Amino acid sequence: MDDDREHRELQERVMRFRVMEREVTDPLAIGLLHDIVTELEAALEHPKE
């Protein structure tokens, strides 16, 4: 159950960062947010064991 909750929380973080990525106008911020989203998505695909 705890894994399900952690997975859900990670999905929510990804969605929040995606929204921020779409809303910001600073090119540096967009790049940084994109990197964060990429790393979070990788964590979703390869959960800790």
- The tens-digit pLDDT sequence of the chain (49 residues) is 578 898 899 999 999 999 999 999 999 999 999 999 999 999 988 876 5
Q: In Å, what is the CA distance from 21 to each residue of 5, 11, 12, 29?
A: 24, 15, 14, 8
- pLDDT at res. 14: 94
**What's the count of helices (H) and strands (E) in the chain, helices before strands?**
2, 0
pTM of the model: 0.81
Residues in the chain: 49
Contact call for residues 21 and 33 (beta carbons, < 8 A):
yes
